Structure 1
Amino acid sequence: MAVLKVIEVLASSPQSWEDAARKAIAQASKTVKNIRSVYVQDQSAVVQGSDISEFRVNLKITFEVQD
């Protein structure tokens, strides 16, 4: 039987929500092993003037806990 754990991670990017999600997974995978899935819980953006300056994502990362 596998035991799974979920953590919540926030990340941002000046390019896109997808880039922010990729950066979050890249950073989390440095210390969290056996990542199984990611769920994008929320997306938001910061607007400066008439343009988006920062894309933000709130992710739930699921990984398997090893003995």
Structure 2
Amino acid sequence: MSERVYKKIRLVGVSKDSYEKAIRSALEEAGKTLHGLAWFEVMEQRGAVLEGGQVEFQVTIEIGFKVERANV
């Protein structure tokens, strides 16, 4: 059977280094509990200015993953 079903979830990754690291952070965390990760879409990029002038990079992504059928 070649039909597949995917589900999408929205996550926000955060990094003090870069947008790329914020994306990787969200993907790595999602990979701990989700299987069949297939793609991601960057929905929003923003930053925060923290105390002392430090910068925080924030990226909202949608992650698509394959829905696995339970073997019942």
What TM-score, normalized to structure 1? 0.91
Aligned partner of residue 24 in structure 1, secondary structure: helix
1:35 is matched with 37
1:16 is matched with 18
Paired residues in the alignment total: 67
Aligned partner of residue 66 in structure 1, secondary structure: coil
Larger radius of gyration between Structure 1 and Structure 2: 2
Seq. identity, %: 32
* Structure 2: 5+ residue stretches without partners: none
* Structure 1: 5+ residue stretches without partners: none
1:63 is matched with 65
Q: Residue 29 of structure 1: CA displacement?
A: 0.3
What TM-score, normalized to structure 2? 0.85
User: Counting strand residues as a fraction of each chain, which structure ranks higher?
Assistant: 1
Aligned partner of residue 23 in structure 1, secondary structure: helix
Is this contact kept in 2: 1:45–1:52, CA < 8 A?
no
- Across the aligned residues of Structure 1 and Structure 2, the Cα RMSD in angstroms comes to 1.6
User: Counting helix residues as a fraction of each chain, which structure ranks higher?
Assistant: 2
